Amino acid sequence: MVLSRELQVLDLKFVPFLDHSQILERISELGTSINQDFENKLPLFIPILNGAFIFAADLLKEICIPCEVSFVKVASYMGESTSGQVEEVLGLKTDIRGRHIILVEDIVDTGLTMSQLIKSFMPFQPASLSIATLFVKPDSVQVELPLTYVGFEIENKFIIGYGLDYNGQGRNFRDIYQKAD
Ligand code: IMP
């Protein structure tokens, strides 16, 4: 498939980075691993809104073992830099005590958001806690995280598309675009 050309989003230019079909192929592999690792464990997927909504939808379609899904929302990110502050965790209705939790995230940058989220879950004593993230920026990560299911390790550049936004825009693109140099 040929990716469309350069994009202007607000004040930034972006260039094609990853094709939709490559993303789906990798997600299928992640799904296979999760199906094997969590058979008979009734995992609870907790996708983090807003960014993970498309990844979560495609990942869940690859899961063929019994499971549950409960979305949460955190507020922590503005523009191109992360604040590292999880201001609020909204929407978790399911009791996570004794459950096998798989946090579903679009991208781990510094890792501070995930780290704080995990800290807020630990008092409820889940049976296990792992992370499924579509992207990680290894050069940017500042904390130890259970990054068990990683789609792609990428360089430390800003990307958009497939759920990821730049100041609210670009989530709707099928492909991933990287900020132009
Ligand atoms: P962290 O706390 O630095 O790991 O930031 C995690 C959050 O920042 C992600 O859930 C995204 O919402 C956002 N983020 C980090 N890097 C990017 C990027 O390259 N594009 C879009 N959003 C990003």
Residue 83: Cβ within 10 Å count:
14
175 catalytically annotated: no
Give a yes or no: residue 113 inside a domain.
yes
Burial level of 76, CB count in 10 A (0-12/13-18/19+)? middle
- With a cut of 80, say whether residue 4 has pLDDT above it: no
Closest ligand 1 atom to 165 CA: 21
Closest ligand 1 atom to 111 CA: 4
Give a yes or no: residue 51 inside a domain.
yes
pLDDT in tens, 127-155: 999 999 999 999 999 999 999 999 999 99
Give a yes or no: residue 88 inside a domain.
no
The response to whether residue 164 sits with its C-beta less than 6 Å from ligand 1 reads: yes
Give a yes or no: residue 56 inside a domain.
yes
What pLDDT shows up at residue 116?
Answer: 87
The response to whether residue 47 sits with its C-beta less than 6 Å from ligand 1 reads: no
What pLDDT shows up at residue 155?
Answer: 97
Pocket test for ligand 1, best of 9, 73, 74, 82 (most atoms within 8 A of CB): 82
How many domains in the chain? 1
Task: Name the closest-CA residue to atom 20, ligand 1.
Answer: 159
Give a yes or no: residue 121 inside a domain.
yes
> Active site residue: 11, 19, 37, 109, which one?
109
Give a yes or no: residue 102 inside a domain.
yes
The response to whether residue 154 sits with its C-beta less than 6 Å from ligand 1 reads: no
Give a yes or no: residue 78 inside a domain.
no
Pocket test for ligand 1, best of 107, 113, 117, 143 (most atoms within 8 A of CB): 107
Give a yes or no: residue 152 inside a domain.
yes
- Domain CATH number, residue 125: 3.40.50.2020
- With a cut of 60, say whether residue 181 has pLDDT above it: yes
**Among 174, 153, 150, 155, which Cα is nearest to 163's?**
174
Domain residues for the domain of 115 are 42-67+95-157
